[in-house]
């Protein structure tokens, strides 16, 4: 695994770095799709890889939300940001909750962190296991191998009077895994300047590969062109049969 600093010591800057994202609009799209496809009658929602809880800020208007994430640093920010929601620590491929949900979402590429085909299968099985019969799973994917622009470079900046952030990155590939090598320079008024290097590895899974694994996990699965981020699409799965009744 990469250093994943972004979800460690960089967690407190996460919402600044991604301040360009319209979480409210994304949440409205997700709620509409969830209600369109869901056959179960409840409104319990689990956000897997919830990060700092920015979708839950909005989703909690319509659903009884729980957030789960691997990073305690991200969860700390989420707990400060959102009142009255349970945020728990767990790995998407392995977590165990004594509860099933009507809606499970995993947004902004979290699924890519499974890295390997085998781990992706484990995660999809685990998510399906936590869905009620008729419940819906919505996944916003990472890039496919065909769409990944290996060798490309990128830069992103954020600034207020008190904070200046510059992130410069190189997009590499290691077999079927994308490797994001990112360097951050963060200057804070009255404090000084810090430099971090963050290397992240995300699996480049195919569309047919993901849909086949969703189906094997007991889901009626489809790929929808409707996107949160341009061109990425969404996977939607409806739980057909309970492979592991509680
Ligand atoms: C790009 S952020 C997305 C956060 C949030 N969903 C959003 O839209 O802002 C990826 C998140 O996935 C979490 N993550 C990475 N690997 C994970 C795993 N195996 N299980 C659960 N969460 C994981 C990270 O800690 C991080 O919070």
* CATH number for the domain harbouring residue 176: 2.20.130.10
Ligand 1 geometric centre to CA of 141 (Å): 12
Total-model pTM: 0.96
**Region label for 162, one of left (φ > 0), alpha (ψ between -120 and 50) or beta (otherwise):** alpha
Task: Report the pLDDT value the prediction gives residue 243, as an integer from 0 to 100.
Answer: 55
Residue 199 and residue 209 share a domain: no
Q: Is residue 246 part of a domain?
A: no
pLDDT in tens for each of the 246 residues of the chain? 456 787 888 999 999 999 999 999 999 999 999 999 999 999 999 999 999 999 999 999 999 999 999 999 999 999 999 999 999 999 999 999 999 999 999 999 999 999 999 999 999 999 999 999 999 999 999 999 999 999 999 999 999 999 999 999 999 999 999 999 999 999 999 999 999 999 999 999 999 999 999 999 999 999 999 999 888 999 999 999 665 554
Q: What is the CATH number of the domain that holds 74?
A: 3.40.50.150
Domains contained in the chain, number: 2
Residue 133 and residue 94 share a domain: yes
User: Sheet of 44-48: strands edge to edge?
Assistant: 86-89, 64-69, 44-48, 101-106, 131-139, 234-239, 219-224
Q: Is residue 245 part of a domain?
A: no
Residue 120 and residue 24 share a domain: yes
Q: Is 51 in the pocket of ligand 1 (CB under 6 A)?
A: yes
Ligand 1 atom closest to the Cα of residue 54 is 9
Ligand 1 geometric centre to CA of 129 (Å): 20
Q: Is 73 in the pocket of ligand 1 (CB under 6 A)?
A: no
Closest C-alpha to 157, from 4, 3, 12, 18: 18
Q: Is 110 in the pocket of ligand 1 (CB under 6 A)?
A: yes
Task: Report the pLDDT value the prediction gives residue 166, as an integer from 0 to 100.
Answer: 98
Task: Report the pLDDT value the prediction gives residue 9, as an integer from 0 to 100.
Answer: 85
**Spatial distance between the Cα atoms of 17 and 69, rounded to a whole number of angstroms:** 19
Residue 103 and residue 39 share a domain: yes
Residue 161 and residue 80 share a domain: no
Ligand 1 atom closest to the Cα of residue 108 is 8
Q: Is 71 in the pocket of ligand 1 (CB under 6 A)?
A: yes
Q: Is residue 12 part of a domain?
A: yes
Task: Write out the residue range of the structural domain in which residue 43 sits.
Answer: 5-144+205-239
- Using alpha carbons, list the distances in angstroms from residue 37 to 108, 125, 148, 160: 20, 19, 30, 41
């Amino acid at each position: 695994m990469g250093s994943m600093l972004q979800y460690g010591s960089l967690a407190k800057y996460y919402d600044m770095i991604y301040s360009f994202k319209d979480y409210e609009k994304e949440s409205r799209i997700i709620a509409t799709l969830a209600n369109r496809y869901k056959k179960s009658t409840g409104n319990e929602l689990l956000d897997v890889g919830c990060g700092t809880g920015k979708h839950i800020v909005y989703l909690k208007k319509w659903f009884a939300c729980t957030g789960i994430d691997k990073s305690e640093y991200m969860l700390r920010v989420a707990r400060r940001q959102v009142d009255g929601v349970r945020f728990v620590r767990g790995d998407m491929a392995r977590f165990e909750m004594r509860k099933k949900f009507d809606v499970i979402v995993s947004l902004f590429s979290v699924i890519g962190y499974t890295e390997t085909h085998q781990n992706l299968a484990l995660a999809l099985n685990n998510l399906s296991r936590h869905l009620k019969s008729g419940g819906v799973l919505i996944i916003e994917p990472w890039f496919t191998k065909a769409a990944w622009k290996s060798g490309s470079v990128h830069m992103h900046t954020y600034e207020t009077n008190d904070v200046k952030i510059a992130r410069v990155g190189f997009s590499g590939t290691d077999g079927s895994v994308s490797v994001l090598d990112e360097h951050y320079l963060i200057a804070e008024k009255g404090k000084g300047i810090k430099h971090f290097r963050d290397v992240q590895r995300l699996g480049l899974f195919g569309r047919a590969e993901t849909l086949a694994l969703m189906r094997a996990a007991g889901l009626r699965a489809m790929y929808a062109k409707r996107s949160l981020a341009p061109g990425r699409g969404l996977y939607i799965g409806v739980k057909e049969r309970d492979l592991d009744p509680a």
